[in-house]
Amino acid sequence: MLLRIFFNFSLLFFNLSLLAQQSYIDYRSPFHPTVSKSGMVVSQNIDSSNIGIEILDMGGNAIDAAVAVGFSLAITLPRAGNLGGGGFLLVYIKDKDEIVSIDYRGASSLNADLFKIFQKKLPEQFNEIDRDLVRYGYQASTTPGTVAGLLEAHKLYGRLPLKDILAPVVKQAREGILVSYDLHNAIKSAPQLLEDPESKRIYFIDGEALKINSLMTRPDLAKTISLIMDQGLKGFYAGEVGNLISKAMKNNKGFIDLNDLSNYRPNIQKPISTKYRGNTVFTQGPPSGGGVVLLTALNVLEPFNMNGFKENSSATYHLLAEALRKGHHARSRYVGDPGFFDVPINDLINKKDAQEYARQIEFNKATPASEVKPLEVIQESKDTTHYSIIDEEGNAVSNTYTLGYSFGSGVTIPGTGILMNNQMNNFAFQYGDQTEISRSSSPGNRFIPGKRPMSTMNPVIVKNKENNISIVTGSPGGSFIPAAALRVITGIIDFNLDVGQATMLPRIHKDWPYAGLEYESTLSSDIVSVLERLGHQPESSKTLGSTQSISIIDGINYGYADLRRPNAGVAIQAD
């Protein structure tokens, strides 16, 4: 009897020990966030993330690190990281409890002539227009805003001298990086690089893309960044670099000149926001339309008990699709550069209107799409990049910037290493065509010299019910950007997932005025079948976006770099 009692007690003890062990070993998910109480940088290239941490370790704050990472990505991720593009940056200053937006979207040259670009074609002759004129080459670029935007953030909120921040980046450019599999194939897939002599010289050897694991040094970029390091804005928008940009443009029938460069200014704005289940979601306002999509979608979803449907149910995907389409409808006509168009932003993100739409959603069928078929929608490139940063004091940066297409226009300004954007492509050149209802004819985004084109980039910062920042996120992906951010935010808030789980949830995209729905291959075939029966017309897509995110819970930072694109990574300071 004593032996049996002893045996049972030993078995119970063993089982309890096993359970205790399993509670640690058996993780809830294979997508593990990186955890730190100190500074954290999450970007699409781990080498650039590490440079951000180097700046934090020098005593810099999140803004200093963001400047370094932004310049570094021009070396490590040249297809998207840039000095010749533009973007949007949200910064949170802890001691002021303030979130500020810096709009550094590129602006069209004051010399840009629509009739020269499209050879005097009218909007209704859109199908006859050679759209490649604003996709590739010297006429495709807006005046770059990246350098001005990052330096403005530093001037307002930085701590370290600019020389200290950019010195590691100059070293990285001079010493070079190893060409990754991803970079090699990105170069191969950008034929516009072969059309530009300077780009061909940098990214190809004997007509072949730089080989995997070969060393790519960038003395040209090192020189340009050194001039910026020493001279600030004048090191890019005037002097040697400014003159080289202006000269190259003039020699190749481009529009940008020294006047455009010297007059470019970033815009300091308040971000737009909405309340979502007691949390406050901040994102970029016009000329971003992506922020309108995201906030509208959240407003549509709020009346529904999302948690009751579970994160991977067909009902959840149906509601996400309906919400996203409403969001894209909201941004398709009346979003543009607020310096040129009075954007009715309060109407566009009106919660009452969104929730009236929500009441009309039926669970047994998709809301009918417009029967008007557009001739062509503005194609927004997926080749953007995003990074999120938080420092040990709680300051944070959410930054999304782009060249437009992968490697932008394909043009590298000789002697500078600066790849130029192709953001002229993002204007609504079909404005005036009465038969067209898509974004191609948007009144808000019609082309005007000096204007900034609409973008879907929307960096995000979320505050929780206690008014503490809880999420820093954003994504590349063109029109897919709001869907990627929406999935992360709802995954964390609605379904109580950690940032890794929320990031790796399958994603869908539903635009307007189209009936179709794009989905990732990881989405269950059963759910795809249900969505098809509901009338969503699902079509398999490639991966949607690549979020770089930080979740903050009780003062602990949880970072996760999306697995959808290679070489991304989380870097942390030692606690």
Catalytic residues: 384
259, HSE (Cβ side, Cα atoms, 13 Å): 8
- Which helix (H) or strand (E) segment holds residue 172: the answer is helix 162-175
Q: State the Cα–Cα distance between residues 243 and 139, nearest whole angstrom.
A: 17
Q: Taken in order 328, 329, 333, 338, is the CA torsion positive or negative?
A: negative
Residue spans of beta strands (DSSP E) within 347-485: 384-390, 396-402, 412-413, 418-419, 460-463, 469-473
Which amino acid, residue 5? Answer: I
Question: Is 471:549 a contact under the CB 8 Å cutoff?
Answer: yes
Q: Going edge to edge, which strands form the sheet with 396-402? A: 267-269, 98-104, 86-93, 396-402, 384-390, 40-43, 569-572
Nearest-angstrom CA–CA distance, 302 and 298: 6
Buried b (16+ CB within 10 A) or exposed e, 61-75: bbbbbbbbbbbbbbb
- Give the chain's count of helices (H) and strands (E): 19, 23
Query: Measured between alpha carbons, how far is 546 from 387 in angstroms, rounded to an integer?
Result: 10
**What is the C-alpha separation between 490 and 555, in angstroms, rounded?**
21
β-strand 279-283 against 460-463: which pairing, if any?
antiparallel
Q: Which two tokens stand for residue 109?
A: 């040259």
Q: Give which of 470, 474, 465, 537 is closest to 498, Cα–Cα.
A: 470
